[in-house]
Amino acid sequence: SYVLTQPPSVSVAPGKTARITCGGNNIGSKSVHWYQQKPGQAPVLVIYYDSDRPSGIPERFSGSNSGNTATLTISRVEAGDEADYYCQVWDSSSDHPLVFGGGTKLTVL
């Protein structure tokens, strides 16, 4: 089955840029979605189809996807961005069509 690899943790100072990666074999050929999950809450979609932002998500959140790595970038990081972030792909032709990455804990220093 398809495996998505995320770093367990990323730390960043307030006001700086955080980059969270999601690795997968030829992931650039797939559509990647990203979710933010704060403690005790349901996940929230923050980026879909690699780089689109749902309404209500700040422009500070952006995404890219190429080759074997997709990246979620959070600019001008705020304390409220501290959360777990998950990438997700869908491949209807796969025997395991929907996969989540293991998640990355973003810590704002």
Partner 1 sequence: QVQLQESGPGLVKPSETLSLTCAVSGYSISSGYYWGWIRQPPGKGLEWIGSIYHSGSTYYNPSLKSRVTISVDTSKNQFSLKLSSVTAADTAVYYCARSSAGQLFSYWGQGTLVTVSS
- Contact footprint for partner 1 (CB under 8 A): 1, 31, 33, 35, 37, 42-45, 48-49, 54, 84, 86, 88, 90, 92, 95-103
Kindly state the smallest distance separating residue 58's Cβ from partner 1, in Å.
Answer: 17
Beta strands 9-12 and 104-108: pairing type? parallel
- Of the pair 10, 45, the CB lying nearest partner 1 is at 45
Kindly state the smallest distance separating residue 92's Cβ from partner 1, in Å.
Answer: 8
Determine the Cα–Cα distance for residues 57 and 69; give it in Å rounded to an integer: 22
How far is CA 97 from each of CA 8, 38, 52, rounded to the nearest angstrom?
23, 26, 21
Nearest to 3 by CA among 31, 26, 19: 26
Kindly state the smallest distance separating residue 13's Cβ from partner 1, in Å.
Answer: 26
- Of the pair 1, 26, the CB lying nearest partner 1 is at 1
Q: Which residues pair with 4 in a beta bridge?
A: none
- Of the pair 71, 104, the CB lying nearest partner 1 is at 104
